[in-house]
Chain A
């Protein structure tokens, strides 16, 4: 099972284990974390910086810094909380380098690092988007939502409890009154059904495949 410092901690993802594996020497395991958090980090940085290229540069820099600092990550906090702080600091530094304004002080970017960025208003445009990427994003979101609506009830419930309510398989199993294996299967089938529709859109974004 997932490792945790406390028997009561319910770890619902593989972050900690991927971190450990990376530190143990498997560089590629870190890429899975990059794939997982790329969008969230870009959105976070995009709130502070508008230039599309700069947003991506800062995001890249964030992940590299996180990689280098990984041995010091003890796992007391969530990996993403730790990554979030690195992103904020990296973006701050980049903005300060840009401005070189003697009036700007470190206090000028006193962003509350403990604030969960999901608590902000959701209907704001991310700052670093072109009309084309906006349209592509809309299409992806619409496809995911449409595919969700088309799912059989028990599949949709399972994936909703997992992705939106953040419940563990055990908790979902309790709630839905079925074995964990069934939970795993339902979540997988829900994801597959949505993937079928969304994957072509993702692939056409870059023209390349994994």
Chain B
């Protein structure tokens, strides 16, 4: 196997399912301990998420979220794998085999063949979609699920959004009443149904 140039390259490979056996165990151990490996695991996944959708840049700060989760996890009992009858399932539960080329050669060859077939198709599809737009937010759609619809990426609404420009006025119940009365004036707009009605039905607070 090639040399890794940097400890975090292990984390990068781990994120992409490229490690097995001892390499996997080693990388997981690194990423599970507090430190830069864990930070890398987090940052790399933020990058991936954001590339697929700007929306995923938000959310609660991860360190806090995971910290709270850890506290809950402490109270949880250890898990025990369910006893399974089939050999296939048993193989899944067994710890991964060492990633020696000899042992995995046939598996790897299968993958290459499957991969090559996909690539030929993917090349055309990727060319046509990414040629038009450099982004396809549904990960794996083109290669793994050719039947799935290709979704065009759209920017966050934030980019077009007008900030509230008027100074903040003090809302009062009377104003809310009048706003509600305005919305009730019903068919005064062709857009009232369904858009206006929907908007109003969600916004209306009990006015009285």
Contact = CB atoms under 8 A, between A and B. Distances in A.
Q: In the complex, are there CB atoms of A and B closer than 8 Å?
A: yes
B8 interface: yes
7 contacts: A8-B111, A10-B118, A43-B58, A163-B139, A164-B139, A185-B5, A206-B62
A184 B18 contact: yes
A56 B65 CA distance: 8
Contacts of B110: 7-8
Given A14-B19, A141-B57, A164-B137, A26 B52 contact: no
Interface residues of A, number: 101
Interface of A: 1-3, 5, 7-8, 10-18, 20-32, 34-36, 38-40, 42-43, 56, 59-60, 63-64, 67-68, 70-72, 74-75, 116, 118-119, 121-126, 129, 133-134, 136-138, 140-141, 144-145, 148, 159-171, 174-175, 179, 181, 184-185, 187-188, 191-192, 194-195, 198-199, 202, 205-206, 208-210
Given A5-B92, A118-B139, 5 more contacts: A123-B157, A137-B59, A165-B140, A184-B16, A199-B39
A12 B144 CA distance: 11
Give chain B's interface secondary structure class: helix
B46 A118 contact: no
Contacts of B73: 27, 30-31, 64, 67
Contacts of B171: none
Given A60-B69, A122-B154, A141-B57, A2 B43 contact: no
